[in-house]
């Protein structure tokens, strides 16, 4: 229900105005303690002071709902009256009640925070300032002391004016920047989620369908009919799948037979499980030896290492022309490293075709996604060494 | 939707909304403080404590401004805070000594208020716990120093304690209220944004889904054909078909990886044309997962941060174009770390959002430099072992 500006009960206070009102409430409430400490008050002054205080607090409370000018004027007059009721000696800065006196008057500065960007509102606020300043200066002059409280009053009004002028813009900028950061969080989550799905599917397709297609493309060279049949049935060992990433919406329904995620993880440490892979990959003229041991590893890290090493072994078998591959395991308290080394034909890692996903996705990206790291050291005619590193459990 | 990602909605940026307002308040109080001190000094003759308190307050103010500056390296902040506390304590002692010689309570009261407001400025880049601790420490020092001066009045002691704690209480309440609002806005805004982005990405992937489904059917048919006649060597026509399908499948998979994660996320936000990521992108893709949210947030804030918009337009919230074109370059550095470089055209580093520096600080030590055509920011990050 919005009406004409400046009309009673139609001015909805903004955030800055509400902050100001709460601040005024806080200062004025605190001043009640100092009132109690003012020893020289007459009983009627004491009662009157507390009645005025109650009225000011009610006006402040009303200002939380509407900061129309009558409330603000009532607050202003109430604060001046309250200051006056503290006594006449308080204007002297050598008097112990000087600070509560200055504080009560300074509480009027929060009215600036209710100022609107209209001439009427600006004029009203300026007149309010002149009123309270005039009272402070005249009352100090009447007693014959320097108006130190007027300086304090002016300073607090300037500070609240700066808050009024800069506060809304600062808040808008703050929330604007926060919104951008919020958007970045959402964009990162969505992009990351998509890439995780794509990565998982790419590796999976590479390790299953593409491997099988490659073998068929070579007319099944190097495999017996039985092995080829097994490959077509099972695709590849599902135990070496790094992680059953969330399927990308666009990839749902695409199933190459072996795309199901592994059920219960195989028992044993990394070395044991690698030995089982080595036995599986070994054949006449090609052997795999596993050396060393590692400490305990988390399941995702172990699965990533298994899948990456398996891919390395397959690459040696298919592309390196080497009859033997060594896998060296070592670990410290916080890291584990696996070195896969062969003395085959080697290759230039910088000239690896972009469409060769084996090393890029099934080894390097897989290790990165598991929080680890992989490096390829190779040169034509000088064999290949792949270093896989990850954080130990 | 991982929890670490969710928790970033409540990441602490600058503790208070406006450093400018806090600095203004401090300057106004310092001017008042100086005026009261000099006026008292002129009446009572040269009183060194007045001038010393004012000088120390000015030094403290400069240190506080430095400590709240977003560009100040985080490593220096602890020293700056300690320096400020020493200066503020010394200034309080001088003000108390001046009060003993009767320049009135206005000076000690203003001094206490100035220290209390300066705490907000000093703690601007700290956390709430640090801010509260510093507030309590400052209030205790202010009150204790006055309490031991001859002729101290209990009413004035309680007043000084109140003045010393008031800005701290107001600051703490505002931080808590804003944090609550951030949590609420964060939860609702994030889920809405996630839905919108996911819908957008779903629409883009439907074409690829269809093509992949067709390829899948062809591969299934080929496998079925081979299963029926698995004798090795296989038929050359089957082998050729397998090679063609493998090539096509590789092509489909490669299309999924045409962009780096950063380019993809920026593209989602419509900033693909504003932020140029220098090739090759393999270093960008090799950046650790833990550092990626901060890199993306910092880049987006550089490109479209509200603070940036505020300095370059009169309220228009349009996204910047050529004037704020950003180049991002990542290169390997050290054992497995990376050096990240942002080049921002047409923008002074002072105009960047304070949140940019908060994000960059979480990556490593940021070095920024300005020139005629913009600014450059370099951050060296630790690698995956971090």
Mean pLDDT of chain A: 78
Q: How confident is the model at residue A240 (pLDDT cuts 50, 70, 90)?
A: very low
Instruction: Give the contacts of A310 (CB within 8 A, at least 6 positions apart).
Output: A237, A240, A277, A281
Nearest Cβ partner of A171 from B17, B39, B205? B17
In B, which residues are within 8 Å of A23 by CB distance? Answer: 170
A230 has a chain B CB within 8 A of its CB: no
A249 has a chain B CB within 8 A of its CB: yes
Range name among A303-312, A350-359, B19-28 with the lowest pLDDT average: A350-359
Chain A residue with CA closest to B206: the answer is A250
Predicted local confidence at residue B100, as pLDDT: 62
Q: In what order do the strands lie in the sheet with B275-277?
A: B275-277, B326-333, B337-345, B374-381, B364-371
Q: Please tell me what DSSP assigns to residue B229.
A: S
The arithmetic mean of pLDDT across residues A202-216, rounded, is 79
In chain A, CATH 3.30.565.10 covers: 265-393
In percent, how much of chain B has pLDDT > 70? 84
Q: Do B306 and A176 touch (CB under 8 A)?
A: yes
Interface test with A, best of B34, B249, B263, B359 (most A CBs within 10 A): B249
The arithmetic mean of pLDDT across residues A227-249, rounded, is 50
Predicted local confidence at residue A178, as pLDDT: 85
> Is a pLDDT exceeding 90 seen at residue A223?
no
State the CB neighbour count (10 A cutoff) for residue A199: 22
Predicted local confidence at residue A156, as pLDDT: 92
Give ipTM to 2 decimals. Answer: 0.80
Q: Return the CATH fold of B261-381.
A: Heat Shock Protein 90 (3.30.565)
In percent, how much of chain B has pLDDT > 90? 20
Three-class DSSP labels, A86-111: CCCHHHCCCCCCHHHHHHHHHHHHHH
Tens digit of pLDDT for each residue in A383-393? Answer: 888 888 888 77
Predicted local confidence at residue B271, as pLDDT: 83
Q: Do B209 and A198 touch (CB under 8 A)?
A: no
Chain A residue with CA closest to B203: the answer is A250
Nearest Cβ partner of A151 from B35, B201, B286? B35
CA angle, B103 then B108 then B109, to 5°: 120
Predicted local confidence at residue A253, as pLDDT: 36
Of residues A191 and A202, which shows the higher confidence score? A191
Tens digit of pLDDT for each residue in B308-361? Answer: 655 444 443 444 444 468 899 988 877 777 889 999 888 888 888 888 988 888
Tens digit of pLDDT for each residue in A20-31? Answer: 888 888 888 877
The arithmetic mean of pLDDT across residues A129-157, rounded, is 87
Cβ proximity of B61 and B27 under 8 Å: yes
Predicted local confidence at residue A204, as pLDDT: 76
Nearest Cβ partner of B29 from A155, A193, A202? A155
Predicted local confidence at residue B178, as pLDDT: 84
| Complete DSSP assignment for B150-207 | TT--HHHHHHHHHHHHHHHHHHHHHHHHHHHHHHHHHHHHHHHHHHHHHHHHHHHHHH
Q: How confident is the model at residue A317 (pLDDT cuts 50, 70, 90)?
A: confident
Of residues A312 and A209, which shows the higher confidence score? A312
> Is a pLDDT exceeding 70 seen at residue A249?
no
Predicted local confidence at residue B350, as pLDDT: 82
> Is a pLDDT exceeding 60 seen at residue A193?
yes
A30 has a chain B CB within 8 A of its CB: yes
Interface test with B, best of A37, A39, A147, A188 (most B CBs within 10 A): A188
> Is a pLDDT exceeding 70 seen at residue A106?
yes
> Is a pLDDT exceeding 80 seen at residue A217?
yes
Tens digit of pLDDT for each residue in B49-81? Answer: 778 888 999 999 999 999 998 888 888 889 999
- Cβ burial of A267 (10 Å; 0-12, 13-18, 19+) is exposed
The arithmetic mean of pLDDT across residues B295-304, rounded, is 90
The arithmetic mean of pLDDT across residues A149-153, rounded, is 88
Cβ-Cβ contacts under 8 Å between A and B: the total is 311
Predicted local confidence at residue A283, as pLDDT: 77
Q: Do B185 and A182 touch (CB under 8 A)?
A: yes
Residue from B55, B35, B166 nearest B104 by CA = B35
B37 has a chain A CB within 8 A of its CB: no
Instruction: Give the contacts of A110 (CB within 8 A, at least 6 positions apart).
Output: A20, A21, A23, A24, A27, A160
Alpha-carbon distance of A304 to A310, in angstroms, equals 10
In angstroms, the separation between the Cα of residue A171 and the nearest Cα of chain B is 6
Residue from A63, A330, A357 nearest A200 by CA = A357
Q: Which residues in chain A (90-119) have CB-CB distances under 8 A to chain B? A: 92-100, 102-103
Measured torsion, CA atoms of residues A294, A300, A301, A302, in degrees rounded to the nearest 10 = 40
Q: Return the CATH fold of A265-393.
A: Heat Shock Protein 90 (3.30.565)
In angstroms, the separation between the Cα of residue A74 and the nearest Cα of chain B is 24
Q: How confident is the model at residue B154 (pLDDT cuts 50, 70, 90)?
A: confident
Three-class DSSP labels, A338-359: EEEEECCCCCCHHHCCCCCHHH
In this prediction the pTM is: 0.74
CA angle, A18 then A20 then A22, to 5°: 70
Nearest Cβ partner of A248 from B28, B185, B205? B205
Q: Do A189 and B246 touch (CB under 8 A)?
A: no
Of residues A252 and B384, which shows the higher confidence score? B384
> Is a pLDDT exceeding 80 seen at residue B5?
no
B242 has a chain A CB within 8 A of its CB: yes
Predicted local confidence at residue B82, as pLDDT: 94
């Amino acid at each position: 229900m919005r009406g004409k500006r400046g009309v009673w009960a139609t001015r909805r206070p903004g955030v800055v105005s509400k902050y100001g009102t709460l601040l005024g409430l806080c200062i004025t409430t605190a001043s009640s303690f100092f009132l109690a400490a003012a020893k020289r008050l007459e009983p009627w002054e004491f009662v009157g002071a507390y009645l005025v205080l109650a009225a000011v607090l009610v006006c402040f409370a009303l200002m939380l709902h509407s900061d129309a000018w009558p409330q603000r004027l009532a607050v202003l007059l109430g604060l001046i009256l309250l200051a006056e009721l503290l006594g006449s000696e308080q204007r002297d800065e050598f008097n112990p009640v000087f600070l509560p006196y200055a504080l009560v008057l300074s509480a009027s500065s929060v009215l600036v925070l209710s100022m609107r960007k209209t001439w009427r509102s600006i004029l009203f606020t300026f007149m309010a300032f002149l009123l309270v300043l005039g009272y402070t200066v005249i009352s100090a002059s009447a007693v014959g002391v320097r108006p130190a409280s007027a300086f304090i009053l002016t300073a607090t009004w300037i500070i609240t004016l700066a808050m009024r002028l800069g506060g809304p813009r600062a808040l808008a900028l703050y929330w604007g920047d926060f919104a951008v950061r919020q958007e970045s969080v959402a964009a990162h989550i969505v992009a990351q989620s998509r890439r995780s799905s794509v990565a998982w599917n790419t590796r999976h397709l590479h390790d299953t369908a593409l491997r099988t297609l490659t073998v068929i493309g070579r007319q099944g060279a190097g495999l017996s009919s039985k092995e080829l049949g097994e490959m077509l049935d099972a695709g590849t060992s599902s135990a070496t799948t790094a992680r059953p990433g969330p399927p990308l919406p666009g990839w749902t329904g695409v199933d190459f037979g072996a795309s199901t995620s592994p059920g219960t993880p195989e028992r044993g440490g990394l070395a044991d499980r690698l030995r089982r892979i080595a036995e599986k990959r070994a054949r006449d003229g090609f052997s795999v030896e596993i050396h060393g041991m590692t400490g305990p590893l988390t399941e995702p890290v172990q699965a990533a290492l298994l899948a990456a090493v398996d891919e390395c072994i397959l690459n040696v078998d298919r592309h390196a022309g080497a009859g033997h591959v060594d896998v060296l395991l070592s670990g410290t308290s916080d890291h584990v490293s696996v070195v896969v080394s062969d003395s085959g034909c080697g290759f230039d890692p910088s000239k690896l075709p972009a469409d060769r996903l084996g090393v890029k996705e099934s080894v390097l990206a897989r290790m990165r996604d598991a929080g680890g790291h992989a490096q390829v050291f190779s040169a034509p005619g000088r064999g290949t060494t792949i270093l896989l590193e990850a954080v130990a459990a | 939707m991982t929890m670490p990602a969710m928790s970033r909605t409540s990441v602490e940026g600058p503790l208070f909304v406006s450093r400018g307002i806090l600095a203004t308040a401090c300057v106004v109080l310092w001017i008042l403080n100086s005026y009261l001190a000099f006026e008292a000094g002129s009446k009572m003759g040269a009183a060194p404590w007045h001038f010393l308190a004012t000088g120390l307050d000015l030094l403290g103010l400069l240190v506080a401004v430095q400590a709240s500056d977003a560009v100040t390296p985080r490593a220096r902040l602890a020293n700056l805070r300690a320096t400020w506390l020493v200066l503020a304590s010394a200034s309080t002692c001088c003000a108390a000594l001046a009060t003993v010689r009767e320049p009135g309570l206005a000076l000690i009261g203003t001094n206490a208020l100035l220290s209390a407001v300066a705490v907000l400025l000093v703690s601007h880049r700290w956390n709430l716990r640090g801010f509260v601790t510093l507030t309590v420490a400052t209030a205790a020092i202010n009150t204790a120093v006055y309490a031991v001066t001859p002729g101290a009045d209990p009413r004035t002691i309680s007043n000084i304690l109140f003045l010393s704690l008031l800005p701290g209480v107001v600051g703490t309440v505002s931080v808590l209220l804003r944090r609550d609002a951030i949590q609420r806005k964060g939860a609702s805004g994030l889920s809405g944004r996630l839905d919108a982005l996911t819908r957008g990405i779903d629409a883009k992937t439907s074409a690829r889904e269809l093509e992949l489904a067709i390829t899948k059917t062809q591969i299934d048919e080929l496998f079925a054909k081979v299963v029926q006649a698995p004798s090795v060597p296989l038929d050359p026509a089957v082998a050729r078909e397998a090679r063609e399908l493998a090539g096509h499948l590789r092509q489909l998979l490669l299309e999924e990886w045409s962009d780096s994660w950063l380019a993809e996320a920026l593209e989602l936000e419509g900033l693909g044309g504003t932020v140029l990521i220098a090739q090759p992108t393999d270093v960008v893709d090799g950046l650790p997962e833990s550092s990626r949210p901060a890199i993306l947030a910092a880049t987006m804030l550089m490109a479209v941060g509200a603070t940036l918009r505020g300095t370059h337009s009169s309220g228009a919230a349009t996204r910047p174009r050529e004037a704020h074109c950003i180049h991002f370059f990542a290169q390997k550095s050290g054992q497995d770390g990376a050096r990240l470089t942002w080049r921002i055209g047409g923008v002074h580093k002072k105009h960047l959002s304070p949140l940019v520096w908060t994000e960059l600080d979480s990556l490593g030590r940021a070095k920024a430099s300005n020139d005629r055509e913009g600014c450059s920011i370099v951050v060296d990050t630790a690698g995956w072992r971090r």
